[in-house]
Structure 1
Amino acid sequence: MNKSILVVFLVLLTSLFVWAGGDQESGSTEVPADIQWVTADRIGNPNASITLTYAVDLTYSHQTQTASRKEFLTSRMEEWAKAHPDVKLIPQILSNNPAERLAKQLEQAATGSMADAAQIDGQFVPLFYRWLQPIDSYFSAQELDDWFDWCKKEAMIDPQDGKLKGAWMLTNTVGLWYDKTAVPNPPQSWDEVIKVGKELQNNGYQYGFLTWGGKNEQISYGSVFPMFFGLGGDLVDSSGKPVYGEGDNRAKLIEVFKFWDRAVKEGVVPQRVLDINNNGDLAAAAKEKTAAMFLGGSWLLSVLKDNLGSEIESWDFTNTPQKSASIKMQIPGGYCMAFFAKDKKKLDLIVDFMKYVYVGADGMAGWCSAAGYTPVRKSVFENYAVFKEDRFQQAFGKVISTARTRPNSSTYSIISEHVQEGWQNVILGRQTPEEAVDTAFKKTLNQIR
């Protein structure tokens, strides 16, 4: 064979080997000419050599029917996928039943069958610490400091080993909505609630103070536990055993119930709050001007805007009133993104994807804006116009900066159910605060035995 032809042949052979073997080594794969980067059940190149899985609620996925959410997620996911053509992601949609979801996730974590990343209720993240992969190397100290302190304490940093085990995505809370034209100085203490409520009624308002009262988690989440936690009360001990009906905890819950009992007996809170079962009922009271202040979720903003129109400008949001004005305490809702991928390459990629879409500063700002949630990183409130220039979001951020999650105990739902019932009995005058607490605690203990 001619020497020059042999050289060319060897060069071509080497190139072919590098193309076939080298690309295979790096994991790159062919990208179809007519590729659709984001479909309902896939994000990324269908021919990608690396497959990642992640589990999210339907409303947090690009499968959602809410246009603003779908548009943001689809666009953001497509951008990431185009930059990572060797990767495809397969979404897994979580059950919309909270108890069922938690039970299944715990089973999957224990058996090693969990997705590479999963959305977990922030309240329950500590239950998964033993299975979660540390992600400290993916966040600088400055980035970590950007989260609210309660996020890190309650669900991000494992106290056993000090490792970062999750990234809180967003939040919401129940606080005091009030009409500034009628309530220029919102009440911060229980005594002030009674005083301002009576003044409102003297000025023509039918109700002094309202809250969601139909049996639902929102009673516990919004009307009882923020005040109980503000007094330093604990629902369970370190082992998860219910203790809210014992000793100082009993006394503190009785104090909370006594406030509500007093508010009803003095005519500030009507017994008909037990008929308030949805956000629309509270928004209607605001529109009809039968109430000028009530406890409601930060998520009520869109409903109030729809009902009040331009009159929303006279409304504002602040902390849940406590026994003393010096106490600040909220209960946060929301989810964390937690990571289970043991393979280093997969962990690198799934963390990067989640930072880009949900938990990085840009991702969190875009997602919370599109979805109507409250961010949990301080820089998002300070640096992004959609939050920096929105007085409601600024109010939500200020209020939620001091918070405490509900306990991750498996008995929590049982506790909540019986406390809701006790609170309703106090509102109706069927039981004294002492009787209501003792009955709720007895029922709780009987049910968990």
Structure 2
Amino acid sequence: MLKTEKLRGRTGAARLLAATILAGSLSVVATLAQGVELTLWAPPTFTPTAGLPAVADAYKDLYDRFQAEQPDITLKFEILPNGTEALQQLLTAATAGNLPDLAVLDGFWIARLVETGKLQPLDEMWPAEARAAFYPQAVDAVTFEGKVYAAWFHNAWRGLFYRPSVMAELGYTEPPKNWDEFVAFGEKAKAAGKSAVMLPASGTELTALHMLSMFWGLGGNLVDDTGKPVFFDGANRAALEQVYALYREMVAKGMMPLDVSTMDESAIRPFFYSGETASVAQSSSAVTQMYADVPDLKGDLGAYSYPLPGGAQASPILVGWTYGIFADDPERKAAAWAFVDFVLKPENLGKLNAAAGHLPIVQSIWDQDFYNNDPLMQQFKAIFDTGAMRARPNVPIYPTITNAWALQMAEVLAGNITPAQAVDNARDQVMTEYDRMSSR
């Protein structure tokens, strides 16, 4: 249970938001003598309680400046749990009628939350000319029946990371570009006592995100134009079976250890740090954490897309977090938008993005010093400048699909089921839920 404590004796109506840790739980509250008090739900990563000091300081500074600019708005925030547990908390709160005024929401939750009828459209407050500064995919992904329901504030690329120094030791000046080159790279890595790669393969959304980039690159589609799942039909089935087969081949050929079947992205990073794997699948959002963990990675870290058979190119995915507003009272809704609008200003959002190492979703932020002068960030920008970025389908069945995909992976890697059986199992799980949702 989250506990709160009000802070008194400050100069002015309300000043700095302060953290209170009580009985193992965390909440941050500011008080205001008069005006509007807002409740924000957010994962700790997007608050002054973030684990990385640079990120925590950036949010603390942001909240200080917002409070100075809007002294009649009190911002009280409470910490959301990680993962899909947070989505379930929001859905339960929607049913119970105790949602916050606004929240930080994973992009793929928006479709489910729109279904509740509680998430408020932003169009009247967020004019089209302001939205035009954002990547179009980031706006389209949260638009339903012509209305925009959330504001995206960063993106994360997922692919393979490597040390150029290690590549050089293995005889490479650049990473492999296709599957045949990747298999040959795997043999060289094995000869040097390393795994070629480690990808997360536990039964979570993170596993599915890496799979999805490959699946799209191989020509697959998750759903049709009506939102009905089609990943198990025709060319889509062939693409998904091939993704499972590639994972299995990496294990079978000794390019990747079977142990990844129980690991997420954070669990496999230490193997990259120690040099036990020559490359590792990660999110660009982990770069700042990686530099904090191993400072000498800075200047010796590169990224490349998953090598695929037949010259196919993996698709970068629009993955990130958004701000959504649940308050329907006009005054509270306007106050909530005042905060979101403050966050979205390029001069403010750019500082948050840079502190966390997030990829900008506002195009002008790429021109700010941190992004313009960092070779790795410029590498990420080149990937997105290809125009191939795709957003996860904004359909309510999406979380069920990726959950079903990921849950099959451990059995595929162990050789207990074939890729075809994995697709069938995922289909059965998804269509049971799809039929249930369609009958409501």
For normalisation by structure 2, the TM-score amounts to 0.80
* Residue in 2 that maps onto 1:172: 156
Kindly indicate whether the alpha-carbon contact (under 8 Å) linking 1:226 and 1:329 is maintained by their aligned counterparts in 2.
yes
Structure 2 gap segments, 5+ residues each: 1-8, 19-27
Kindly indicate whether the alpha-carbon contact (under 8 Å) linking 1:193 and 1:209 is maintained by their aligned counterparts in 2.
no
- 2:186 alignment partner AA: G
- 1:62 alignment partner AA: P
Q: 1:330 to 1:323 in 2, by over 3 A?
A: farther
Q: Give me the whole-angstrom Cα distance separating, in 1, the residues matched to 2:200 and 2:314.
A: 21
RMSD across aligned C-alpha pairs, in angstroms?
3.2
Quote the offset at 1:316 in angstroms.
0.3
**Corresponding position: 1:353 with 2:339:** yes
Q: 1:400 to 1:116 in 2, by over 3 A?
A: farther
Tell me the SS of whatever aligns to 1:136: coil
Quote the offset at 1:270 in angstroms.
3.8
Kindly indicate whether the alpha-carbon contact (under 8 Å) linking 1:197 and 1:208 is maintained by their aligned counterparts in 2.
yes
* Residue in 2 that maps onto 1:103: 88
Q: Give me the whole-angstrom Cα distance separating, in 2, the residues matched to 1:189 and 1:82.
A: 53
Q: Give me the whole-angstrom Cα distance separating, in 2, the residues matched to 1:187 and 1:147.
A: 32
* Residue in 1 that maps onto 2:22: none
Q: 1:66 to 1:234 in 2, by over 3 A?
A: same
1:115 to 86, 100, 103: 100
**Corresponding position: 1:37 with 2:23:** no
* Residue in 2 that maps onto 1:366: 351
* Residue in 1 that maps onto 2:178: 189
Kindly indicate whether the alpha-carbon contact (under 8 Å) linking 2:315 and 2:389 is maintained by their aligned counterparts in 1.
yes
Tell me the SS of whatever aligns to 1:258: helix
Q: Give me the whole-angstrom Cα distance separating, in 2, the residues matched to 1:436 and 1:326.
A: 22
Q: Give me the whole-angstrom Cα distance separating, in 1, the residues matched to 2:293 and 2:84.
A: 33
Q: Give me the whole-angstrom Cα distance separating, in 2, the residues matched to 1:399 and 1:179.
A: 18
Tell me the SS of whatever aligns to 1:313: coil
* Residue in 2 that maps onto 1:247: 234
2:366 to 381, 394, 401: 381
Structure whose CA Rg is larger: 1
Kindly indicate whether the alpha-carbon contact (under 8 Å) linking 1:55 and 1:92 is maintained by their aligned counterparts in 2.
yes
Q: Give me the whole-angstrom Cα distance separating, in 1, the residues matched to 2:139 and 2:200.
A: 30
Kindly indicate whether the alpha-carbon contact (under 8 Å) linking 2:218 and 2:312 is maintained by their aligned counterparts in 1.
no
1:435-446 alignment runs, 5 A limit: 435-445=421-431
Q: Deviations over 1:209-252 (max 9, x none)?
A: 32223444332122x22111223423344565543223332222
Q: Give me the whole-angstrom Cα distance separating, in 2, the residues matched to 1:296 and 1:146.
A: 28
**Corresponding position: 1:198 with 2:183:** no
* Residue in 2 that maps onto 1:261: 248
Q: Give me the whole-angstrom Cα distance separating, in 2, the residues matched to 1:221 and 1:98.
A: 13
Kindly indicate whether the alpha-carbon contact (under 8 Å) linking 1:286 and 1:292 is maintained by their aligned counterparts in 2.
no
Q: 1:66 to 1:314 in 2, by over 3 A?
A: closer
Q: Give me the whole-angstrom Cα distance separating, in 2, the residues matched to 1:285 and 1:90.
A: 39
- 1:254 alignment partner AA: E
Q: 1:387 to 1:49 in 2, by over 3 A?
A: same
- 1:287 alignment partner AA: S
Q: 1:78 to 1:390 in 2, by over 3 A?
A: same
Q: Deviations over 1:236-269 (max 9, x none)?
A: 4456554322333222211222323333444433
Quote the offset at 1:108 in angstroms.
4.4
* Count of aligned pairs: 409
Q: Deviations over 1:268-303 (max 9, x none)?
A: 334343364553533433433x33223222233245
| Identical columns (%) | 22
Structure whose residues are more often helix by fraction: 1
Q: 1:442 to 1:114 in 2, by over 3 A?
A: closer
* Residue in 1 that maps onto 2:24: none
Q: Give me the whole-angstrom Cα distance separating, in 2, the residues matched to 1:105 and 1:185.
A: 45
* Residue in 1 that maps onto 2:68: 82
**Corresponding position: 1:271 with 2:249:** no
Tell me the SS of whatever aligns to 1:260: helix
- 1:136 alignment partner AA: D
Structure 1 gap segments, 5+ residues each: 1-30
* Residue in 2 that maps onto 1:209: 197
Tell me the SS of whatever aligns to 2:277: coil
